[in-house]
Each structure stands twice: as C-alpha cells, then as structure tokens.
Structure 1
Amino acid sequence: MPRSQAKYPGASNTQNPEAGLEISLDTAEELVALQLGMFVDVRQTLEGELEGEIPGALSIPLFQVKTLLGQPLSEEEQEILDMDVPDEADIQSFLSRINHLHFGSSLLLFCICNSGQRSLHAARLFRNLGYVRTYSVRGGFRAWRGARERKHPA
C-alpha cells in the first residue's frame, strides 16, 4: 500500500500534515462495535456533563494529559483546567490505562473532542508517545450527536 494511503477505510488520504490522523465517525463506530477500538473522550469533564457522554468511552481530558506529561499549557488552557500539578500516581495511572488499551488489548484509540480539533492534537500527541494506532474522529462529538439525532429524531 502506498505510504499516502490510509490503513483503514474512512481514514484521511490527503497530502496534508494531518494525513492518516483522522478517521470518519462511521468507521470508528464500526471498529468499536467489532471490539477493535475504543473512543477516548478528550473533552473536559464539564463538557461531557453538559453536552452528553459517549457510552463506553474512556474520558481522558486533553489538558490533563498535557499536564501529566509535563507539557506547558497556554494561559487559556490553564484557566480552563484550573488544577494543580499531577502527582506520580496520576501519571502512572494514566500511562497504565493507555498502555493496557493500546498494547495489552491491541485496541485502536479514537480520540474525540467537541469538534475534532483538540482530538487531532491528542492523536498527534499519543502517536509521538508511541501509541501509533491512535486516530482523531472527524467532526468530533458534534458529528456523533448529529448521527444519533438522525437515527432517532425527537
């Protein structure tokens, strides 16, 4: 398969820096249903509480991930996060959970945020850490909620 082609149907095939990082919601849902992948919700906890949660998704807010890994947050991110520096137990717990999913269970990780922008950053971050089977769900939670509303109109 040529390098520019994506490995999974629905994954990006374009010649841009994000090529191969995005996957369509339909493809991600199909792989989750086949127990080959798992959604990783990188939205802030409050967003999940207000907007709704994805059943079965692992919630790991991106700003907390960045803090756990010692990456600097912008002033805006720090204000949104408004938390202390994590301790070693937090870091070990985070790495243990991700290692188990990615390496122990061989699951694909599908990062999802509200619109698909933070999840791109999260997918790139996870890949840089060696979790190469990580993707960003195109359209994010908005696409997921829209698909639910189309399937089950009010």
Structure 2
Amino acid sequence: MTKSPPVIELSWRDENYGSVCAVAAFRNYAGTLDWSDRTHQRFRGCLKRAGFAFHDGRCSYIATSGTREDRQRALCDELARAGERRKQIAAARVLIDKGKALLDEARDMLETVKDDEQAARENLPPSLEDSERAQAMDAAVSELESAISALEDFDADEIGTNLDTASE
C-alpha cells in the first residue's frame, strides 16, 4: 500500500520581537489534520533535531540558537532525510515481497522432495524397513517437514503491516 508523503508548507516568519529572541521561526499552514499520530510524532522529531520548538504564544515553531540560515537548512535537511527513510522502507518492502515469492517457491520444492522421499520410504522392500537407509530416509522427511514449517512461519503480511506503520 503506497501512501503519499505528508505535505509540509513552511512559512518562515520574523518572530524576533517582544520577549522572544528567535533566529528562525515558521508556521506550518499545511493541512496536518489528516496526519496520523505517528506522522505528527516523526515531524516533531525532525523539528527537535533541527533545533526548533513550538511556542504556544506565537503559534510558531521557533529556533533560538544558531543562525537563521543554519536552522532553516537543518530543518530542510532533516525533513529530506525523513523522506529518504520512508523510501528505504518502501524499497525494503519490495525486497521482502520478492523474498516471500522465492520462499514460497522453495517451500513448494521442498514439499515435492519430502513427498518423493516419503514415497520412496514407503516403497522399500520389507527386508530394508529397519535398515540404516530407512532410518536416514525417516530423518530426512522429518528435517524437511521442519524446514517447510520454518518457511511457513515467515509472515510477509505482518512484516508489511509493521513497515506501513513505520513509514507513517
């Protein structure tokens, strides 16, 4: 499920008056009401890492240290990195989906091998039913069943849900 990235519109302002000493300030006028709590949390993390904090009295995000240009660049860089992380998650999701298809193919191959081994074991002559070869065949079938079970435990859907949540 591909989601469109959140739209962020920064309106840089001069908030350096009164009791506030701001080197850089902005208001985000973009519609953030449809953002999930996780997206808001990630956005606030970007702001914090770039040196901004929300000022309730001014209804603006304000940075009080550094230079205006440094803070603006830091915020833009931080937001760009957040977008890159979302792209990396999407790329990982594609690889996981491809891996799931390969694992399904491998599981089908192992099912065939297991079925063939079971059939060969069942067709052993009575004189070989208790032989080392028969025991090896039984062990091979058991190990193949364990391998198939492990492949079935891979849950690409759960991983996809986790990645969708992570990319919000």
Normalising by the smaller structure, the TM-score range is: under 0.3
Instruction: Looking at secondary structure, tell me which structure has more helix per residue.
Output: 2
Question: TM-score scaled by structure 1?
Answer: 0.23
Question: TM-score scaled by structure 2?
Answer: 0.22
Which structure's relative contact order is higher, taking Cα pairs within 8 Å and 6+ residues apart?
1
